Structure 1
Amino acid sequence: MNENSCPICHDELSWTGEYHCQSCDENFKKIGFCPDCDAELEKLQACGSASYFCNACNELKSKSKVRFEFQPS
C-alpha cells in the first residue's frame, strides 16, 4: 500500500504544493498525531529534515512512530 493514499478512493496522491487526488479531484493536508497522547503534532523543519513536536507531551516524537492522516484542505 502506498504511503500517500487518498482516504476516499485509496488512489495515489500527487504532490502539487499540496496533496491532490486526481480521481476525486480533492486536495488534502497531511497531519501527524502523537503516538502517545493522540494530539496533533507541530512539524519543525530545518536544514532539509523534519521533526515532530508534541505540545501536550512537551517532547519530540520519532517520525517512524507518528500516525499520519490525510484531511481535506
Structure 2
Amino acid sequence: MKQDLCPSCQEELTFKVSGSVRGEQYLCHACQRIYTRVAKCPDCQQTAEKIQACGSVSYFCSHCNELKSKTRIQFEYNDAL
C-alpha cells in the first residue's frame, strides 16, 4: 500500500478533509502542517481532475484530453493556505 509522506520530514500524512473547495487535505502530525494533494498527469505533468463514477476512480487530463488510470497518476503535496 502506497503511503502519503510529508514533503518536509517524510513522516506519514493523515487524511484530514475531502470534498472541500481546496480538495483533499492531509495533516503531518510531526510538522503540524496541512497539505493539499494534487493529482498530476504522468505524461504531461499537468493537473488532472478526479472523476468518480459507479465506485471507480479515474483522472482526466484536459491537456492530453484523455482519461488516466489512478494507478498511473502521480501525486504532489502543496502547503494548504
TM band (smaller chain) = 0.7 to 0.9
Count of residues in Structure 1 that have an aligned counterpart in Structure 2:
72
Gaps of 5+ in 1: none
List structure 1 segments (4+ residues) > 3 angstroms apart after TM superposition: none
More strand by share: 2
| Greater relative contact order structure (CA < 8 Å, 6+ sep) | 1
C-alpha separation in 1, matches of 2:79 and 2:57: 22
Tell me, in whole angstroms, the C-alpha distance in 1 between the residues paired with 2:27 and 2:11. 10
TM (norm. structure 2) is 0.79
Alignment match, 1:63: 70
**Root mean square deviation of aligned Cα:** 1.3
**Runs of 5+ unmatched residues, structure 2:** 18-24
Q: Percent identity?
A: 44
TM (normalized to structure 1)?
0.87
